[in-house]
Amino acid sequence: MDPERRLYAAAQVRELDRRAIEEQGIPGYTLMRRAAAAAWRAAHDRWPLLRSVAVICGAGNNGGDGYEIARLAQAAGCAVRVCETGGRAPRGDAATARAAWLEVGAVEPLPGADNGFFHADLLIDAIFGTGLARPPQGAELAAIEAINAARARGVPVLAVDLPSGLHADTGAELGTAVRADLTVTFIGRKLGLYTGQGPGRTGQVVFDALGVPPALHEGLAPLGELLDAADLRRWLPRRPRTAHKGDHGHVLVIGGDAGTIGAVLLAARAALRAGAGLVSVATRSAHAALLAAAQPELMSRGVESSGELQTLIGRADVIAVGPGLGQGEWGAMACAEAFAAGKPVVVDADALNLLARQPRGNPHWVLTPHPGEAGRLLGIATAQVQADRPGAALELRRRYGGAVLLKGAGTLVQGQTLALCPYGNPGMGVGGMGDALTGIIAALLGQGLDAEAAARAGALAHALAGDRAAGGGERGLAPSDLIEALRVVVNP
């Protein structure tokens, strides 16, 4: 695994830091100066015309980075103000950095939100590092609120290592967190930057390993890894010239109870565009002819009994169940038959809600819950899921097996290991996007990927297609736009 794609907990990053100092002989103050140089370089690249900078320093090593950044900014000709949040005095390397700054500048208490912050070209958040596990209070909370008030009036913000108030492991906002435009993070990527509230607090994320050798990561198992668009080339190679439809899987999509024909149509269309060789739909009898007219490539059958559905299941290689399924008698019957088939199955929407009523496990399925559905599967509130998305994904897999794709900003895929999809955009927050994802994953299962690989590749393809479709703007993006963008994405 590429060290730059590994995702770590805060304690693991501290261990990497310890290894660098004690095993590699890199002084802690040297690492602090490298971190400051990386942050200032990223700031200058993003805002090359900076003339004034305000740095807000806490008492820990994050504050030490801030003092060093202040020195670099002043050396570059910027007018610099350093404000401290008060409390205990810095120690160790942070105290060294503060003393070095005092040789060339001055420090002052944090001013009121309307007293000077708005006149800087850039605010630098150096209050808290990775160790924060409680809501900020007192002067630190006031500093975070002042920074956010300044940003609301147009002053950009750079966060050092991670936005203060964000939990480094889970991405949960600990009461109030800084909203940054740019976050520069060091040595190891923190999982919380990329999921939960992280993507809404970090802005652009820049990573710098600070010159630490890759060997430092050996023997330290990360929490997970970032997916990359290039991964699709491995999972979706060019097809042989002798390929035929039977090589690419027969997907059966089950759903579309009364009034929800659109959901099953979107899932089936997405399966076609993601490369399935054949796509059948099992739906209510009143819908079959309508589906055939809407998408003639689909084999649509009305089913009202277990026997009819079993016949269709017997012909399929992969099942996708849930889009528009409903939770009535018909949906419960269809769900039970899909679960009993012993074939790879993608479980979404009402099939997840029915599963929550009667839990069972399956090593070969892919579960695709949004946070609300995940909460029902775990018997907890949605807010609890969002407070620890990695923990929720892991617990879902422990209880239900297979691969779990937890939707939301920073989509997580939990299989044997954890993967995180950093792509996608807010325009995808619209009804029907999950139905398209279900069809994509089912098509990838049909093309020979196992559950974990199909979930990872499906998350990537779905997000990348959403980003392509959002080229004309995020607002008004529809699932059909994403499905039309799929063909380019799944032919990398």
Tell me: the pLDDT tens digits for 355-372? 999 999 999 999 999 999
Average per-residue pLDDT in the chain? Answer: 96
Question: Which residues lie closer than 8 Å to 478 by C-beta, 6 or more apart?
Answer: 430, 432
Place of tokens 């670099």: 72
Report whether 468 contacts 484 (CB < 8 A): no
Model confidence at 432: pLDDT above 70: yes
pLDDT computed for residue 472 by the predictor: 86
Distance (Å, rounded) from C-alpha 200 to C-alpha 181? Answer: 10
Q: At what angle do helices 433-446 and 451-469 cross, to 10 degrees?
A: 130
Mean pLDDT of 192-210: 97
Distance (Å, rounded) from C-alpha 271 to C-alpha 401? Answer: 23
- Residue 47: Cβ within 10 Å count: 16
Distance (Å, rounded) from C-alpha 10 to C-alpha 336? Answer: 43
pLDDT computed for residue 81 by the predictor: 95
Distances (CA, A) of 28 to 21, 95, 157, 256: 6, 12, 26, 60
Distance (Å, rounded) from C-alpha 126 to C-alpha 146? Answer: 13
Distance (Å, rounded) from C-alpha 143 to C-alpha 84? Answer: 9
The DSSP letter of residue 22 is I
Report whether 309 contacts 331 (CB < 8 A): no
Mean pLDDT of 290-318: 96
Report whether 385 contacts 375 (CB < 8 A): yes
Distance (Å, rounded) from C-alpha 148 to C-alpha 118? Answer: 11
Report whether 425 contacts 257 (CB < 8 A): no
pLDDT computed for residue 32 by the predictor: 98
Kindly compute the dihedral angle of the four CA atoms of residues 453, 456, 462, 466, in this order, to the nearest 10 degrees: -150
pLDDT computed for residue 116 by the predictor: 61
- Residue 57, classed as helix, strand or coil, is strand
Report whether 413 contacts 419 (CB < 8 A): yes
CA angle 458, 463, 466 (to 5 degrees): 125
Mean pLDDT of 436-455: 98
Percentage of the chain beyond pLDDT 90 is 94
Model confidence at 333: pLDDT above 70: yes
Among 111-120, 145-154, 375-384, top mean pLDDT goes to 375-384
> Considering Cα of 398, then 401, then 406, then 411, what sign does the dihedral take?
positive
Report whether 162 contacts 132 (CB < 8 A): no
pLDDT computed for residue 192 by the predictor: 98
Percentage of the chain beyond pLDDT 70 is 99
Place of tokens 């042989």: 240
pLDDT computed for residue 200 by the predictor: 96
Model confidence at 79: pLDDT above 80: yes
Distance of CA 346 to the CA centre of its chain: 20
CA angle 350, 352, 355 (to 5 degrees): 115
Distance of CA 226 to the CA centre of its chain: 9
- Residue 130: Cβ within 10 Å count: 28
- Residue 192: Cβ within 10 Å count: 30
Model confidence at 111: pLDDT above 80: no
Domains and CATH numbers, the chain: 3-225 (3.40.50.10260), 231-489 (3.40.1190.20)
pLDDT computed for residue 88 by the predictor: 78
Place of tokens 């570059």: 76
- In what helix (H) or strand (E) does residue 182 lie, and over which residues does it extend? strand 182-186
pLDDT computed for residue 399 by the predictor: 98
pTM summary value: 0.95
Distances (CA, A) of 198 to 77, 203, 204: 33, 9, 11
